[in-house]
Amino acid sequence: MVEHRPWLTIFAHAVLVLGAFVLVFPLWVAFVASTQSAVSFNQIPMSLLPGGHFIENYSAVLTQGLASAGAVPVVKMLMNSLIMAIMIAVGKIAISLLSAYAIVYFRFPFRKTIFWLIFTTLMLPVEVRILPTYGVVASLGMLNSYAGLSIPLIASATATFLFRQYFLTVPEELLEAARLDGAGPWRFFRDVLLPLSRTNIAALFVILFIYGWNQYLWPLLVTTDPNYYTIVMGIQRMVTVADATPQWQLVMATVILALLPPVVVVIGMQRLFIRGLVEIEK
Amino acid sequence: MAQVELIGVTKAYPNGIVALHKIDLKIADRDFLVVVGPSGCGKSTLLRLIAGLETMSEGKILIGDRDVTRLEPAQRDIAMVFQNYALYPHMNVYDNMAYGLRNRKTPKPEIDRRVRETARILGLETMLERKPRQLSGGQRQRVAMGRAIVRSPAAFLFDEPLSNLDAKLRVQMRGEIKRLQRQLGTTGVYVTHDQAEAMTMGDQLVVLRDGHIEQKGGPLEIYSRPATAFVGGFIGSPAMNFLDGRIEDGGRKLRVAETFSIVLPGAGLPQQEGRNLTVGIRPEHFKMNGNSALAELPVELVEPLGAQTLVEVLFGKKIVTVSLDGAIAIKSGDRIPLSVDPAQLHLFNLENETRLDCIVA
Amino acid sequence: MEKRVFFERRLTPYLLVAAQLAITLIFFFWPAAQAFYQSTISQDAFGLSTTFVGLANFERLFSDSLYLHSIEITLVFSALVVASSLSIALLLAAMADRVIRGSAVYKTLLIWPYALAPAISGVLWLLLFNPTIGVVSFALRKVGYSWNNFLSGTDAMILIVAAAAWKQVSYNFLFFLAGLQSIPRSLIEAAAIDGASPFKRFWTIVFPLLSPTTFFLVVVNLVYAFFDTFGLVHTTTAGGPAHATEILVYKVYRDGFVGLDVGGSAAQSVVLMAIVVLLTAIQFRYVERKVVY
């Protein structure tokens, strides 16, 4: 379009640069803090340039952790988070694929009821049922275990809805052709539906991995043994040290480690994850 | 109301593609110009340049006597009807039409008067409260026009506004748009790929191809004297047939497709003696004529349309479409005698496809 | 929408949904039912005897000034988070829609916070706002404001609002940008020809057409502010100082897990459930009817 508003373009860039700065600055500060020595935090305000203690700090947290946080090596917590996140992502996808398949491609009594049952889980995030859910998990002996960390979070509705919505758009002719070729339900699922759903599965995996990794309340409730702490919840213990000042350089090193995997996933798979987000909310 | 002039208008893209090459065009005040051409010829780009929706690489555009080259769309005093109507979905018909006037701070009573008057002209009075999604395609089209009309611009711009309508509605709207334009007396530039629309609606036509003007002129002139083989083949339906020809006998005779010879009018084409060229014959200019037939040709396919009969015959190795009046009882396999009036032949230079005119005796 | 062609099997569908149903029943419905039940009982201090008290827990709750205060705090918090996060995201999206050069870089830099857990966002801002060494608090002191989120309830609230809104901007930005880019270009052009300046075009054409997206984001952001911010509060202010940042979702944890008040916490859970149901209902009734033009 013919437009003579250079100021508008300049303004737009200025706003975007400012926005990008505000969104990146805290990350930069965290990184800088993670490379300082303990002493440099006596400086007011803290320095905005990286210090030289990168290796020292990171190896300290990775191998020893913080005493206040149960002295669990951060490596262990990262592992716990990884296992939990993958179990949640894979579990959710697997279960939802099966449920969506059943709901879309089968007619059976209570089909509608079951659909609504699944739907209502949308309205029951962990935060509204913490005590009783803890009670159930405890009585099943699932505290302080990977199973306890992940299984209760697996059955939520969003993934099921996504797959259901997607399956509804798959042309009828494919099923008809498959049946003519003698394929039963399992065959059809494995050889036709699954390959078709690949992109959706990948996009969903990205989102669910991040969701699983970033879980806070649930791991907090379900783990009393520091060996099962996940990294995102574990950080809280490092920061809330009653009357002492937190050891910022170690805390921030842990923070950087904690946010690295999801951030790498988001940036590396931007297209995939954006597509997944938009699909879910449709 | 004003004349529109394009001088040396060129549009080139950063990747090297040139959409329009130095277009010169003058549209007289109150005239209705139709720009027609195949997809990708640059006609929409041309229109959008006039509107100010695209930037020119070179050239000038004048509307009225103003040089609008560097002006924003809002300042050019033009109104546009888009292919998909571009009606504001969240506003009702009244607001859609009033929007442009409101932006120009026209006083409310004036806006009301003009919107209602335009609605009356277009038969939209009962629909002013409705939203676009409650209207049919034809009604939406009329609202789009109403939005343009209400602003009394210096020129109307139409970007293939009838493409989204079904065939019957299209024919009806064609007439309505032409009537309106004449009644309002506003200069109009109309872009289409449909040659029938172009022929029926335009006072002047411009045939565009790959960013160049192939021919400008009135519809009948373009029909009866196409400047290039392309124009000949593009305008007219069914399309013009093209056959190989050769000039003989000192320029006086034309041998067509090695099938028959015909005497050219006037003194023929003496300079083209012995040369090969392209012969264009419109389907409607063949006559089935037992007496002075030029050739008897085998029928491949018959398509009876009722008012006319389309026949595909084999001319040497080529298939030629013939359009005969009325319902003719022939079937494929028959051989029919055909002749053509030499004055209806269109001769084109083989290399550059330009028209060759016989020398008047 | 239903499939025309389907399988007729007796057992298979049940097997397929078995896993999800089982987990849903065991870990969702059973605890939810328990929460309902527990909200109507009262346990003595040793957990030995339980008495049915009907709605007494609820009555106690709504006459508890701390709980009412928590409701107020939550409403203030959510309103601030939703308003600030949405308006900043809209501005960024509108600008990003306008520039072509560098948009990929901007996009990456602006969406990365989506990957963060709210708790992490909290810790980042905790450092920035730290009364002694924080960079932001230092800047505030320079302009005459003495910041301390450990002492001032207002400062603490600002801290959690900042951390919560900051993180959500990227999510909202993404959806706003998608919404902006789905508006047909011809509408913008028609508006330009109709004499509307870019500013006018945005407010009279673009923003109204963005309303489905806006509404959707308001609901999603409300759910976020109400429920997903537990980790953020827990890591930064722990509801303090003096309950100044004790939002509902934090209070239910504190009273239930730390205070071991089964009845009261269950009652709070039920209230929270009602809120979720309300928000989800609104989302599905009004937002999912995507207005099609």
Contact residues on chain B for A3, CB-CB shorter than 8 A: 72
Of the three residues B234, B269, B299, the one that is the final residue of a domain is B234
Strand partners, B34: B190, B205
Alpha-carbon gap, residue B290 to B339, rounded angstroms: 9
Residues in chain C: 293
Residues 34-53 of chain C whose Cβ lies under 8 A from any Cβ of chain A:
34-35, 38
The alpha carbon of residue A38 and the mean position of all alpha carbons in its chain are separated, in whole angstroms, by 31
- C88: chain A residues, CB-CB within 8 Å: 19
Which of C57, C120, C130, C181 to probe the A interface (max A CBs under 10 A)?
C120
Q: Which of C12, C27, C29, C74 to mutate to test the interface with A (most CBs of A within 10 A)?
A: C27
Q: Which of residues 84-113 of C touch A (CB under 8 A)?
A: 88, 91-92, 95-96, 98-99, 102, 106-113
pLDDT, tens digit (0-9, with 9 covering 90-100), for C17-75: 888 889 889 988 888 888 888 888 877 666 677 778 778 888 888 888 889 999 999 99
Whether residues B190 and B287 fall in one domain = no
- Is residue A107 within 8 angstroms of chain B, CB to CB? no
In chain A, which among 53-92 make CB contacts under 8 A with chain C? none
Q: Judged by CB atoms within 8 Å, which residues 61-80 of B form the interface with A?
A: 70-73
Do B227 and B245 lie in one domain? The reply is no
A111 at C interface, C-beta within 8 A = yes
For residue B260, list its beta bridge partners: B256
Q: How far apart are CA C183 and CA C210, in angstroms?
A: 8
**Chain B residues within 8 A of C205 when measuring between CB atoms:** 88
Q: Is residue B361 assigned to a domain?
A: no
Asked if the structure places residue A154 within a domain, the reply is: yes
Contact A261, A144 (CB under 8 A): no
* Host domain of residue C72: 64-287
Phi, then psi, of B278 in degrees rounded to 5 = -100, 135
Q: Find the residue in A nearest to C169 (Cα).
A: A23
Residue B141, domain member (yes or no): yes
By the CB < 8 Å criterion, does C170 face chain A?
Answer: yes
A218 pLDDT above the threshold of 60: yes
Question: What's the CATH number where B91 sits?
Answer: 3.40.50.300
Domain boundary (B190, B210, B234) is at B234
Please confirm whether the linkage preceding C198 is cis (ω < 30° from 0): no
A128 touches chain B (CB under 8 A): no
* Segments forming the whole domain that contains residue B217: 4-234
Both B32 and B173 in a single domain? yes
Q: What residues of chain C lie within 8 A of the CB of A101, using their CB?
A: 16
Comparing CA positions, the residue from B160, B128, B165, B159 lying closest to residue B143 is B128
Same domain? For B246 and B230 the reply is no
Instruction: Answer whether residue A242 shows pLDDT above 70.
Output: no
**d(C-alpha B39, C-alpha B18), whole Å:** 15
Chain B touching partners, 3 or more CB pairs below 8 A:
A, C
Q: How many domains in chain C?
A: 1
Residue B117's SS3 state is helix
* CB-count exposure of residue C44 (10 Å: 0-12, 13-18, 19+): exposed
Q: Is residue A200 part of a domain?
A: yes
Q: Quick check: A172 and C99 CB within 8 A?
A: no
Interchain contact B184–A (C-beta under 8 A): no
Same domain membership, residue B120 and residue B203: yes
pTM score > 0.80 for this model? Answer: yes
> Are B263 and B291 members of one domain?
yes
User: What is the distance in angstroms between the Cα of B179 and the nearest Cα belonging to chain C?
Assistant: 24
Residues in chain C with pLDDT < 70?
A: 1, 44-47, 287-293
CB contact, 8 Å: A142 with chain C? no
Q: In angstroms, rounded to a whole number, what is the distance separating the alpha carbons of residues C148 and A39?
A: 22
Looking at the structure, tell me whether residues B224 and B278 fall in a common domain.
no
> Across chain C, where does the E strand assignment appear?
41-43, 50-52
Q: Are residues B280 and B344 in the same domain?
A: yes
* Residue B331 within any structural domain of the chain: yes
Q: How many domains does chain A have?
A: 1
- The arithmetic mean of pLDDT across residues A83-104, rounded, is 93
* B52 to chain C: closest CA residue: C193
Same domain, B219 and B271: no
Does residue A1 fall inside a structural domain? no
Strands of B346-349's sheet in order across: B260-263, B253-256, B241-248, B276-281, B346-349, B355-356
Inter-residue contact A123 to C22 (CB < 8 Å): no
In chain A, which residues have their Cβ closer than 8 Å to the Cβ of C140?
Answer: none
* A 184-223 near B (Cβ less than 8 A): none
Chain C nearest CA to B49, separation (Å): 12
A150 occurs within a structural domain: yes
Pairwise CB contact (< 8 Å): B70 & A2: yes
Q: Is residue C195 one of the residues assigned to a domain?
A: yes
Cβ atoms B86, B51 nearer than 8 A:
no
Q: Looking at CA atoms only, how far is residue C280 from chain B in angstroms? A: 26
From chain B, the residues in CB contact with A1 under 8 A are: 52-55, 72-73
Q: Which domain holds residue A28?
A: 6-280
pLDDT < 70 regions, chain B:
1, 290, 361
The Cα of C95 is separated from the nearest Cα of chain B by a number of Å equal to: 20
Angstrom distances, CA of residue B26 to CA of A82, B10, B22, B29, B31? 71, 15, 13, 9, 10
How does DSSP classify residue B38? S
- This model of the complex carries an ipTM of 0.87
pLDDT one-digit tens code per residue, A12-39: 999 999 999 999 999 999 999 988 888 8
CB contact under 8 A, B82 and C192: no
Backbone angles phi, psi at B125, to 5 degrees: -55, -35
Strand duo B66-67 + B58-63: pairing: antiparallel
**Helices A248-268, A231-239: inter-axial angle, 10-degree rounding:** 150
Task: Tell me how many domains chain B contains.
Answer: 2
In a domain, C11, yes or no: no
* pLDDT value, residue A68: 65
Q: B204, B234, B264 — which closes off a domain?
A: B234
Report the chain C residue with the minimal C-alpha distance to residue A247. C127
β-pairing verdict for B18-27 and C50-52: unpaired
Using the beta-carbon criterion (under 8 Å), do C112 and A23 form an inter-chain contact? Answer: yes
In the prediction, which pLDDT does C291 show? 37
Q: Which residues of A touch B73 (CB under 8 A)?
A: 1-2
Nearest CA in chain C to B132: C293
**Res B108: pLDDT:** 94
Judged by a CB distance cut-off of 8 A, whether residue C200 touches chain B is: yes
For residue A163, give the CATH number of its domain.
1.10.3720.10
Question: What CATH number did the domain enclosing C169 receive?
Answer: 1.10.3720.10
Tell me if B324 is assigned to some domain: yes
Measured CA to CA, the distance from residue A82 to residue A210 in angstroms comes to 10
Which uninterrupted H or E stretch holds B315?
strand B308-315
Q: What is the mean pLDDT of residues A209-234?
A: 90
